[in-house]
Amino acid sequence: MTADDAATGPYEDLLSSIWLYIDWRYVTRQLTTEQKELFADAVDADSARVAAQEGPAYGPPSKAERWWRTDAPGDREGKET
């Protein structure tokens, strides 16, 4: 673990916890694209860290849905242009 990991880990953990309980699309509609990307990056990083710590029983890390991107899978509702 690097000093940067130690500094950002608690914030990534917090954002991941929030992500579990919120309406992701509603909340991220309120953010700028840069803020959306940072939030999703934090969720992905925390999930990867937990998966690495827990091992194969945890399963693959989850990925935050980046619905605002034009290359995102799924429906096009709510995507910014």
* Torsion sign over Cα 43, 38, 14, 18: negative
List pLDDT tens digits, range 30-64.
Answer: 999 999 999 999 999 989 988 998 888 888 888 88
Distance CA 36, CA 43 (A): 11
Under the banding of pLDDT at 50, 70 and 90, the label for residue 81 is: very low
Which of 59, 60, 80, 62 minimizes the C-alpha distance to 71? 80
Q: Measure CA of the first residue to CA of the last residue in the chain; give whole Å.
A: 38
Q: Which residues contact 12 (CB under 8 A, 6 or more apart)?
A: 42, 43, 45, 46, 49
Q: Delimit the domains of the chain by residue range.
A: 1-81
Query: Is the pLDDT score of 76 beyond 70?
Result: no
